[in-house]
Amino acid sequence: MSTNKEAWGSRIGLILAMAGNAVGLGNFLRFPVQAVQNGGGAFIIPYLVCFVLMGIPILWIEWSMGRFGGKGGNHSTPFILDTMGKARFWKYFGVFGIFTNIAVASYYCYIESWTMSYVFHSISGTFTGMEQGAVADFFNTYLTIGKSTTGIPYEAVVFYVICLALNTYILSRGLKGVERAAKIGVPMLLIFGAFLAFRGLTLGTDGASAMHPDANAWDGLNFLWTPQFDSLSNPTVWLAAAGQMFFTLSVGMGTVHCYASYIKSKDDIALNAVSAGFMNEFVEVVLGSLIVIPIAAGYLGIDWVKENAGFGMAFQTMPYLFDQWGSVISNLAGVFWFGLLFFAGITSSLAMGTPWMGFMQDEFSFSRKSAAWSFGLIILMFGLPTVLIYQVATNGVVDQIFFNEYDYWAGTMSLVVFATAEAVLFAWIFGMKRGWAELLSGSDMKVPVFFKYVMMYVTPLLLMAVFFGSLFLPQGGDWASAFSGLFSGNGWQLDNNSIILMLQNTGLKETMAAATNPEEIARLTQKINYVNAARGLLVSLFLGISILVYIAYLKRQKNLKTEKI
């Protein structure tokens, strides 16, 4: 039995911590970009449908599983899943709930450290008077480890270590530290976001210039909020919407299970889950859509936004746009923007540390401080490659290899695999009758019976469709031609972006085979080596955690035999 007796201090603290877990950098950086790249308003309907059919049901599943496991003193996914199914292999599916958090935190904390650094630069007025190109160059200089924008040697590494140390210190304070950080961070990001959103709503055509005479913030809003019903028949948009839903709600990671495992057996989970989910959606769909895209469209035009929308806009473009507001307001806006991103980031990265801490405290009797600092050291070890080799530039081509590999395999595919496994376990193995009773126990709201059948059939089947669709993605994403070719005896032609061919580096090898320039061949060879190294680190991390889970299982079996004697 675990000696871990921590508990949440208050219901509002739990809800804010859960909301902070979900509200992260993706709400403000990933959502607007995904919306633009998938047709703006064409993205909204599939996104909201995915929220109802997958987002809310998975939240309820994870809260129910977490509280159920917590009754037996389990605070990490391997043994939470183990209590719900008789087969021994479920605990190893639970490894994803620890692995994903460590792998994602390894690069997530680096991005988080950028926001910390940019708050410093906004306060010091670094971006005042800078042209757009100079702001973009500043970001690239910052990411070049050997260069410095402040005179501090290895500046990016220093801010990364400071950011990681802050996360570790807060985690060492236990749930009280996480709860306190959420009570400060979530309200602050809402206040900062409201200020910037108001500016996005009221900018209008004030930012138009001779270079961009058609600039209009309302064009950005109209692009995002004009629904296009033809998107309902576009599988690509649906897949993008489902992926964003996983990312934004932080489901399929194990953090929700861990947080829920610390609540009391009769505490409400149905309303708490919905409250945290809708708070996240408000921040993402309302605040997230009112800042970057409208402000950028208000100064640069909607056509520029469509062509240049990307993750880097937050750092390469926004400081320049803020500078148009005057020196005092621009510095304040920079502090608000990057402060918002920092608070959104740290409340999420703290959540990523709790599954590891719960596991080490439960199974190996680690103290809070020991568990927290062991988490920090592991993140440092696996995160440094994403810092030191964030960008590899060869012959004018920039590759973000470690970052992309970590993000795809841990931040995308692991979420789908784990969410599929837990949905099947909850609905079909544990049983929907028991699962529904667990969800409603102590509930302050009446959950529509409709969701019982959604959780039993729709959610698991949709998740399996997403996973197998990625595993066997046909060439060019043309499913009709793939099935036609299969039934006519021509086989199933896989796309290079399918999981099967990505694991074999087929696309890279084909490009290298077609290359004639020795320098390009050398670049691609180096890229393949780095890709394999990144995947090797991820595999070693997963196997290492699996070994620890097996050792913990043996310890439990030994303790059971001792108790019987």
Specify the pLDDT at position 480: 83
Backbone dihedral angles phi then psi of residue 201, each to the nearest 5 degrees: -75, -30
Mind giving me the DSSP string for 85-153?
-SSTTHHHHTTHHHHHHHHHHHHHHHHHHHHHHHHHHHHTTTTTT--HHHHHHHHHHHHSTT--SSS-T
Q: With contact defined as beta carbons under 8 Å apart, do 241 and 39 qualify?
A: no
pLDDT bracket for residue 397 (50, 70, 90): low
Specify the pLDDT at position 492: 92
CA distance to 7, 215, 219, per residue, from 210 (Å) = 59, 10, 18
Indicate whether 1 pLDDT > 60: no
Token output for 204: 């209008």
Residue-averaged pLDDT of the chain = 90
Alpha carbons 359 and 349: distance in angstroms, whole number: 17
**Mean pLDDT across 532-558:** 96
Specify the pLDDT at position 42: 80
Structural element, H or E, at residue 399:
strand 397-399
Span 49-79, pLDDT tens digits: 889 888 999 999 999 999 999 999 999 999 9
Specify the pLDDT at position 286: 87
Indicate whether 37 pLDDT > 60: yes
HSE (side-chain half, CA atoms, 13 Å) at 285: 17
Specify the pLDDT at position 59: 94
Alpha carbons 400 and 324: distance in angstroms, whole number: 31
**Mean pLDDT across 242-248:** 79
Indicate whether 13 pLDDT > 90: no
Residue 550, amino acid: Y
Alpha carbons 545 and 93: distance in angstroms, whole number: 11
Specify the pLDDT at position 398: 63
Alpha carbons 14 and 176: distance in angstroms, whole number: 10
Indicate whether 227 pLDDT > 80: no
**Mean pLDDT across 19-45:** 85
pLDDT greater at residue 374 or residue 404: 374
Q: To which residue do tokens 């909301």 refer?
A: 19
Backbone dihedral angles phi then psi of residue 392, each to the nearest 5 degrees: -115, 110
Indicate whether 393 pLDDT > 70: no
pLDDT greater at residue 562 or residue 460: 460
Indicate whether 395 pLDDT > 70: no
Token output for 189: 């990001």
Specify the pLDDT at position 147: 79
Task: Please state, for a pLDDT cut of 90, what percent of the chain lies above it.
Answer: 58
Which residue blocks in 131-213 are alpha helix, DSSP H? Answer: 132-143, 155-172, 175-202
**Mean pLDDT across 285-289:** 88
Span 299-354, pLDDT tens digits: 999 999 888 887 788 999 999 999 999 878 899 999 999 999 999 999 999 999 99
pLDDT greater at residue 240 or residue 251: 251
Specify the pLDDT at position 565: 66
**Mean pLDDT across 185-207:** 93
Alpha carbons 536 and 542: distance in angstroms, whole number: 10
Specify the pLDDT at position 106: 95
Q: With contact defined as beta carbons under 8 Å apart, do 260 and 8 qualify?
A: no
Q: In residues, how long is the chain?
A: 565
Backbone dihedral angles phi then psi of residue 353, each to the nearest 5 degrees: -85, -20
Q: With contact defined as beta carbons under 8 Å apart, do 27 and 247 qualify?
A: no
Alpha carbons 519 and 376: distance in angstroms, whole number: 39
pLDDT greater at residue 290 or residue 3: 290
CB proximity list for 554: less than 8 A, separation 6 or greater = none
Alpha carbons 327 and 129: distance in angstroms, whole number: 8
* Residue 519, helix vs strand vs coil: helix
Query: Number of H helices and number of E strands within the chain?
Result: 31, 2
Specify the pLDDT at position 458: 92
Residue 453, amino acid: Y
**Mean pLDDT across 284-310:** 90
Which segment, 150-164, 197-211, 422-436, 494-508, is predicted with the most confidence on average? 422-436
**Mean pLDDT across 373-401:** 83
Alpha carbons 528 and 508: distance in angstroms, whole number: 7
pTM (2 d.p.):
0.93
**Mean pLDDT across 438-452:** 92
Alpha carbons 538 and 300: distance in angstroms, whole number: 40
Indicate whether 367 pLDDT > 90: yes
Cβ atoms within 10 A of the Cβ of 71, count? Answer: 12
Specify the pLDDT at position 10: 83
Specify the pLDDT at position 526: 87
Span 139-182, pLDDT tens digits: 988 888 877 777 778 899 999 999 999 999 999 999 999 999 99
Structural element, H or E, at residue 43:
helix 41-50
Of 72-81, 397-406, 425-434, the range with the lowest mean pLDDT is 397-406
Indicate whether 534 pLDDT > 90: yes
Which segment, 283-297, 343-357, 521-535, is predicted with the most confidence on average? 343-357
**Mean pLDDT across 429-451:** 93
